[in-house]
Amino acid sequence: MTKALVLYAHPCGESFAAALHSRVVDTLTGRGWQVDDCDLYAEGFNPVLSPQERRAYHDAATNQSAVQSYVDRLRAVDALILSFPVWNFGYPAILKGYFDRVFLPGVSFHLDGGKVAPALTNIKKLAAVTTYGGTRLRAFLAGDPPRKIVTRSLRFVAQVAPTRYLALYDMNTASAAARTAFLTRVGHAMERL
């Protein structure tokens, strides 16, 4: 049985992001997957890296203590699916804070003589489901950091290929038909993941 961690980052239950999140979880569960649904807002995840955590960042023997339960959840799965909106051409702060606090040396990567080696080798499938307020061109001109982090950085630490990145651009003007079509696309993608 495939086990997935779905990291969800949106504060509003009535949002389109919430509908996308539900489609991801429902589709994977319907396929018989075991889903750890990590709603960062609902869980009250603290995204702030404390001074003590920063000082212990490179000490793999102690750096996980403040977020051990999140590290354990990440290590217990075969698939990682991110469900989030893109705000200001970046992740919501709570998701960025998750990466800062949980993707630590010894957890997502190893440092060996100044070289970085992947550590999330338990992750066999990686996907992101997201929306952008602006057009694909605007995201491209801004460098599209969320896409690059998923398809390059996260893909590297998990050694996953291929990676699915599903994005609805121009959400600010997307019609009901466009949103429905994207929900359908996400459902089909999760069926094939």
Please state, rounded to an integer, the average pLDDT across all residues of the chain.
95
% of the chain surpassing 70 pLDDT: 100
Give residue 162's pLDDT.
78
Give residue 56's identity as a one-letter amino acid code: A
**Domains delineated in the chain:** 3-192 (3.40.50.360)
Residue 184 pLDDT greater than 90, yes or no? yes
Per-residue CA distances from 22 to 15, 25, 26, 33, 167 (Å): 11, 5, 6, 14, 16
Give residue 50's pLDDT.
95
**124-145 tens-digit pLDDT:** 999 999 999 999 999 999 999 9
Give residue 31's pLDDT.
96
Q: What is the CA radius of gyration of the chain?
A: 17
The answer for residues whose C-beta is within 8 angstroms of residue 169's C-beta and 6 or more apart is 131, 132, 134, 135, 136, 139
In which element (H, E) is residue 6 found?
strand 3-8
Sorting pLDDT into bands at 50, 70 and 90, what band is 111? confident
Give residue 35's pLDDT.
98
Residue 161 pLDDT greater than 80, yes or no? no
Q: Cα–Cα distance between 86 and 152 in angstroms, integer? A: 17
% of the chain surpassing 90 pLDDT: 90
Full-model pTM:
0.94
Sorting pLDDT into bands at 50, 70 and 90, what band is 166? very high
Give 123: exposed, middle or buried? Use CB within 10 Å, 0-12, 13-18, 19+: buried
Give 146: exposed, middle or buried? Use CB within 10 Å, 0-12, 13-18, 19+: buried
**24-67 tens-digit pLDDT:** 999 999 999 999 999 999 999 999 999 999 999 999 999 999 99
